[in-house]
Amino acid sequence: MQIVAMGGGGFSMEPENPLLDSYILSLARASKPRVCFVPTASGDSENYCLRFYESFSKRACVPTHLPLFKRQFADLRGFVLEQDVIYVGGGNTANLLAIWRAHRLDAIFRESAQAGAVLCGVSAGSICWFEAGVTDSFGPELAPLNNGLGFLAGSNCPHYDGEAQRRPTYHRLIASGFPAGYAADDGCALHFDGGRLLRIVSSRPAARAYRVQCVDGTVRETVLPAESLGSADEAKRK
């Protein structure tokens, strides 16, 4: 089961920087993979889908998307299992999880990953794969979310350097008993294989990931340096 959890970045946040999206495509089992964008967290935003197609139609892949607010596929399982990459967009994580469970997509996505598809996403599309996460799903203030899919153990906090309250909120939650986990800056991605953190990659020079846990009553944040994927200009010329 391969999962790439992005703290921020990809086509929606870095339209001129294809590095993270290119890395995800490199993990696919097919030379021209079928890439399915899942925009549930944004309410199936048409603009978000358009930006996905504008970006991925230029790549060596077959882009498609999975709408659920106006569902187009009777056989969700059959459609999902045809995909090589499941790419989940940002938005409201709590709503995403509720809607997926109503359509039984939680089980379908697990089956898809076990069959060899890559699961990935940004922000809500990062948090959802973990047991818990730091979210703005319930209002303007950040809050804990404790009912993630649990494909990955522990918790997740995206946008660690991009939003001022992410770090202090995550530390406060960890200190109060929230599951230990991983934070990621914008432009940084955590690549898990079989539940184990395999690699950390970045599309920005300073982007990092962090292991955050409570040890003997004290929150400890360990920097996990990321491997640079190169420069965006070089990637665009390829």
| pLDDT > 60? residue 88 | yes
| Mean pLDDT value of segment 219-238 | 79
What does the domain layout of the chain look like in residue ranges? 2-237
| Mean pLDDT value of segment 145-173 | 96
**pLDDT for 153:** 97
**pLDDT for 234:** 55
**pLDDT for 123:** 97
159 is an active site residue: yes
pLDDT tens sequence across 130-151? 999 999 999 989 999 999 999 9
- Name the catalytic one among 112, 126, 159, 171: 159
Mean pLDDT value across the chain: 95
Between 16 and 84, where is the model more confident?
84
Strand order in the sheet with 152-157: 143-145, 130-135, 152-157, 181-184, 209-215, 218-224
Q: What separation in angstroms does the CA of 167 have from each of 163, 203, 210?
A: 8, 21, 10
123 is an active site residue: yes
pLDDT tens sequence across 94-137? 999 999 999 999 999 999 999 999 999 999 999 999 999 999 99
**pLDDT for 34:** 98
Residue 223, class by beta-carbon neighbours within 10 Å (0-12 exposed, 13-18 middle, 19+ buried)?
exposed
**pLDDT for 235:** 55
- Name the catalytic one among 123, 137, 155, 202: 123
Percent of the chain with pLDDT strictly greater than 90: 91
Class of domain 2-237: alpha beta
